[in-house]
Chains A and B, each alone.
Chain A
Amino acid sequence: MKDVYILAIESSCDETSVAIVKNGNEVVALEIMTQIDTHSLYGGVVPEIASRMHTEAVTICLEQLLKKTDLKIADLDAVAVTYAPGLLGSLLVGVEFAKTIALVYNLPLIKVNHMAGHIYANNINHKLAFPLLAVVISGGHTNLVKMTGDYEFEVLGSTLDDAIGEAYDKVARIMGIPYPGGPNVEKLAATGNPSYELPIPVKDDSYNFSFSGLKSAISNLVNNEKMRGNEINKADLACSFQTTATDLLTRKLSLALKNTNIKNVIIAGGVSANKYIRSEIQKACDKYEANLHVPEFIYCTDNAAMIGAAAYPLYLKKEFADYNLNASASDEIF
């Protein structure tokens, strides 16, 4: 079969990224322009600033990408773009950019869900083996998803409140740890011991998650200690939080591995960059003799290569979008 080259665009949050992906699993070229330094000044992503920076960056980002390859846009087979979920203003810039490229080069347009992108990041330099269990962990999502084939998702469990990445960020804020909260809490946790006793969430047989109780417990603990004039051991508290939160993930995954007897596991979403979580999930998989696949670090956080990977099955099914495609802040695939 003829090789399929897809130009992919991602702009759902604070990364402007374009990539060329071959056959859904080989990254020909990838360019990521991050805005993290700018948003750090404000302690978090400012949507209006993110949209402005995407508008300024899109054509420059594409030019940088094309310098990395001999391929021309005219040689490609389709244009794929993240249309949901994410920051609406940011998504819109990427969507209009993609439509214009598709129009100019008369290429089919493919709309890709950002979370499908995170799942298919596992298909880069690797072939997804079905059935599988996907541990979806990001700033907006925490799900345990069963996949029996391409784009065949069955949600086994979800968070009842905050997403895990959101919990990391909130805990960072409570403890006065600078943005980006997640990676900084992880770094600090690596130097501490789980000496603080925190409540154990969702002690039932469901596959659901919950992180807001954990966050509240930490908030109360920090406030109480402050009133008593005691110092908090930040490293120990970060470690206690990370240990409890990760234990919840591995408990639910283990339950699913036991009940479904599925032997393939993937991790998807920005939080998959967390090394401690990776190693604990690996232990759970080892126990049930399941194969774990985790995306390479560069493909864990937001990037366009994963969008190109997720677009490939849609290209094969000829699921193309029209020029009236709109972005959506909240469209979910599972």
Chain B
Amino acid sequence: MLKYMGRGDIMYSLFIDTHYLNLVIVLYKDGVVVDKNELINIRNQSEVLVPSIVAILDNNHLTIDNLGELIVVNGPGSFTGVRLGVTVAKTMAYLKNIPIKAISSLQVLASNVDNDQFQVSIPENNGMFIGKFNNDFLNPQYIYIKKEDMDTYVTNNNITIVEDIDYNKLYKKISILPIINPHLVNPLYIKTIEVHNDKKSAN
């Protein structure tokens, strides 16, 4: 059974994003950003993720029991990075019966774009992930473009570069996302892994 345990009628939401070499923790109060912990270009996400959650709660005199909602970015991005955020978020949700939602890293970027039709991309070590949007709906088929093909793709397509994310604006997207069973919150993997490719070519 899901329960909301805000302070009175107030709902606190915790947003966790570890999809690439980053760590973003946002605390919302009734859908408005009240605090944010952001670390960029880090390689030790596993060391800083849980301490960052503790810090943002402590700074706001809250405990996990006060959280009424969790939102986790479940990829695409770094396999390990996404797994860390997803593991922590789904475990908190499961243990405390906190409603949990998953959002893709591309949808996070798209929340800042006002056009009807556009593409957003997320850089990665060897290429980038592309998400196509039509009337605000993400085409379910994400695309992965390898580094050597990136220039051609960018020239031939109109790609929107998102510099900063407005997390208040993002909450409008979050508010309409469905609540998921914590056991089923899992990373989105776009790239296939080598053994799968080897197996396919062997077949």
Residue of A nearest to B52 (CB): A323
Cα distance A26–B87 in the bound complex, in angstroms? 29
Q: Which residues of B contact A236 (CB under 8 A)?
A: none
Q: Which residues of A contact B53 (CB under 8 A)?
A: 103
Q: B183 touching A97 by the CB < 8 A rule? A: no
Per a CB cutoff under 8 Å, which of A60, A73, A93 touches B83?
A93
What number of B residues sit within 8 Å (CB to CB) of A?
Answer: 31
Binary contact track A87-101/B, C-beta < 8 Å → 1, others 0: 001001101110111
Dominant SS among interface residues on chain A: helix
Q: B193 touching A96 by the CB < 8 A rule? A: no
Q: A49 touching B91 by the CB < 8 A rule? A: no
Which of these binds chain B: A51-59, A159-167, A307-315?
Answer: A51-59
Cα distance A281–B48 in the bound complex, in angstroms? 46
Dominant SS among interface residues on chain B: helix
Q: A89 touching B80 by the CB < 8 A rule? A: yes
Within 8 A of B (CB), among A28-65: 41-42, 46, 48-49, 51-52, 55-56, 58-60, 62-63
Q: A58 touching B48 by the CB < 8 A rule? A: no
Range, interface on chain A: 20 to 34
Per a CB cutoff under 8 Å, which of B84, B183, B195 touches A96?
B84
Within 8 A of A (CB), among B67-103: 79-80, 83-84, 86-88, 90-92, 94-96
Q: B46 touching A92 by the CB < 8 A rule? A: yes
Residue of B nearest to A55 (CB): B83
Q: Which residues of A contact B96 (CB under 8 A)?
A: 104
Per a CB cutoff under 8 Å, which of B47, B48, B79, B92 touches A48?
B79
Within 8 A of A (CB), among B147-189: 182-183, 186-187, 189
In the assembled complex, how far is the CB of residue B88 from the closest CB belonging to chain A, in whole angstroms?
Answer: 5
List chain B positions with a Cβ less than 8 A from chain A: 44, 46-51, 53-54, 64, 79-80, 83-84, 86-88, 90-92, 94-96, 182-183, 186-187, 189, 193, 195, 199
List chain A positions with a Cβ less than 8 A from chain B: 41-42, 46, 48-49, 51-52, 55-56, 58-60, 62-63, 73, 89, 92-93, 95-97, 99-101, 103-105, 322-327
